[in-house]
Chain A
Amino acid sequence: MQIDEVVWQVINRGHCSFKIKTISQNFCRNEYNVTGLCSKQSCPLANSQYATIKEEKGLCYLYVKTAERAQKPKELWEKILLSKNYEQALAQIDEQLKYWSNFMIHKNKQRLTKLRQMLIRIRKMRLKGFKELIPIKKKAERRDKIREQKALVAANLENAIEQELIDRLKNGVYNEIMNYNTKAFEKVVGQNQMEDEEEREQQELEEEEEDYSDEELIFDPNDLEEDDDEEDQDDEEDDKRLFQKQTFNQLRRDNDEVKDIKKKKPRVQLQYEEEEEVEDRKKQQIAF
């Protein structure tokens, strides 16, 4: 009691490691402070008789400090468990702090209320589940985005897919499916192609060979609607013709189903070309 005044003068005028000064107000960082503000009444250092409420694992405790234990920091704070019932807890505070200053009693009750409200909120959040806010780290985001793009380019997906599909073809995964582009076929066999065509081929190959994955679009010899006369599976040339025709059929079917607008137009054009080619060849054959 005697030292309180002196202590407050020294701390307030001089330096207190718990004091936080802001433009409008002074706060107290001391863990035992009831109000959180820096003032003579609520300073746990400048009052030898003091009480706080603290929460630990969902339970509220009343911490009491008296002048008798002032020289023993280890035993300074007496810890009293408060009832889980709010009203009973308030009564406990009244009982423990009987004859204490109104300020102390009132502030402790206020703090208890605040802590209990906080606990209720915590419980609610746990039960309801809450959206955890994660900060967006601009730098990291920016960096990752750019790296993703680079990785995409570096991966050479199209080439990889093409290779994979060709390998599958070679391995005979697609048994007896003859639906492929002549040009692609030739490529597989190992003939030279012009670069432009190659690119287009790749695209088309992609399209067509990807289509194989869909069961609907897999060619079934039984599905052929066209003339059987021209089927001649011994001749490679005939095969070619067959392939082309079937491709045409396939493509026609595909056209209806495929939604990619990008590929449609050029494909359509090609079909006509092929048709002409087929017809030309037919004519040739006939000519022969």
Chain B
Amino acid sequence: MTSVPLVSVFSADDSSKVTAKHIPLPAVFQTPIRPDIVSFVHTNIAKNRRQAHAVNPQAGMQHSAESWGTGRAVARIPRVSGSGTHRSGQAAFGNQCRKGRMSLPIKVWRRWHRRVNIKQKRHAAATAVAATGIVPLVLARGHRISQVPQIPLVVEDKIESYEKTTDALNFLKRFGAFEDVQKVVSTKVVRAGISKQRGKKYRVRKGPLVVYFNENAKLLKAFRNVPGVEVVNVTRLNLLQLAPGGQLGRFVIWTQSAFAHLDKLFGTYRYSSIIKDGYQLLRPLITNPDLARIINSNQVQEKVQPAKTTKVLHEVQKKNPLKNTKAMDRLNPYAKKQRAAAAAAIKANTKGTKKIKKNKALKKASRAAYNKVAASLNDATKAAVQEEQDIKVKYFSVQKGAAQTE
């Protein structure tokens, strides 16, 4: 918000010489930068230069066309009456029709101009002037100011008496403003579109804006023919020139008297404007716009509470602690040790078995025992089977015997 509080006035003949060393900046340059206000005001003010135009009210309607109605296997749109020409029977009148009138034809009584509140307009102008004094904004707008000795550029009143264009050119060259003029010259393009047939053949960029004060100044004529350069009186500063296209940061060259007049024109924070009756410069919402600096400053950081860590209430997905060891450990921290101990115990128990060599004798003995048991079992089963057969034989023989006897 604050630019350089002190400004030097340069000699018109020699850019290295300074005629007045420390002039305080007018308060306008400390107005808060409000691109929103400027944008709004600009879009509306830009409409004020428009000239009324309209479409011929009879265009497309000079027929006695009537709709044929239904039943004729054609669309119901009005059709040109008569016969003997291609045109007869063709659709007419509608905006969709060929040779029909446009929808909502433009009328002369369209509201061409916009009124903007005076205060808004003044605020916009003030902001635009302030932006003029901020180097990055002027650069971002596209002006070539890398060789300019100071921004805002204030020059002694001598330039107001320039009559020759050569003087004007040399002056611009001396102050590094010629690069901007060259930019304008090299980027002059034939305009696209019909406007070129309507008197706007070329699209030309904006160069420096020279602001003077004395009404008798002749510099208008000197600078008139330099491409891109515009000349304006302080009392008639125009937002459309200060922020062309609604874009802040025009490159402005002030004369000393013009610069001095700004305080009277816009007023300061101590007194309201003399010329703009009752106008008070906009006050900023915050005086120091550097938020990062404020937040990180000691004074703020002291009072600030420590940062809260996010508390996790539960897992995103439930894990079964009986299966998931980590989940188990979360619930029972001792579980880990328990598991380790169990594992160790198992290891201890099973420590020998792995290392026993198979005792052949033992094996043999066990096998013998098994066989014995098996054999006895076999004997038992055999005996049982035999017994059963004996019984059967006995029975049947008895039976037979019985049968025979009978």
Contacts and interface: CB of A to CB of B under 8 A. Distances in A.
Judged by DSSP, the binding face of B is loop
A74 B146 contact: yes
Contacts of A16: 140
Between B2, B4, B139, B141, the greatest number of chain A beta carbons within 10 A of the residue's beta carbon is seen for B139
Contact of B35 (A4, A14, A74): A14
A14 B4 contact: no
Interface in B214-268: 247-248
A102 interface: no
Interface residues of B, number: 33
B134 A3 contact: yes
A18 interface: yes
Contacts of B133: 71
Contacts of A5: 289-292
Contacts of A15: 140-141, 247
A73 B148 contact: yes
Given A2-B1, A2-B289, A4-B290, A18 B140 contact: yes
B290 A71 contact: no
B135 A74 contact: no
B282 interface: no
Contact of A74 (B137, B141, B176): B176
Interface residues of A, number: 25
A74 B148 contact: yes
Interface of B: 1-4, 33, 35, 131, 133-137, 139-142, 145-152, 176, 247-248, 288-293
A11 B138 CA distance: 10
Nearest to A17: B142
Contacts, number: 84
A75 B148 CA distance: 9
20 contacts: A1-B290, A1-B293, A3-B136, A9-B35, A10-B35, A10-B131, A11-B136, A11-B140, A13-B35, A14-B247, A15-B141, A15-B247, A45-B140, A70-B135, A71-B135, A71-B150, A72-B150, A74-B146, A74-B147, A74-B148
Between B35, B135, B176, the greatest number of chain A beta carbons within 10 A of the residue's beta carbon is seen for B135
Given A5-B291, A74-B146, A17 B1 contact: no
Contacts of B291: 5
B301 to A, nearest CB: 18
A13 to B, nearest CB: 7
Between A10, A13, A45, A46, the greatest number of chain B beta carbons within 10 A of the residue's beta carbon is seen for A10
A7 interface: yes
A6 interface: yes
A82 B86 CA distance: 83
B30 to A, nearest CB: 11
Contacts of B149: 72-75
A288 B273 CA distance: 137
Contacts of A71: 3-4, 133, 135, 150-152
Contacts of A9: 35
Contact of A17 (B3, B135, B141, B146): B141
A7 B131 CA distance: 10
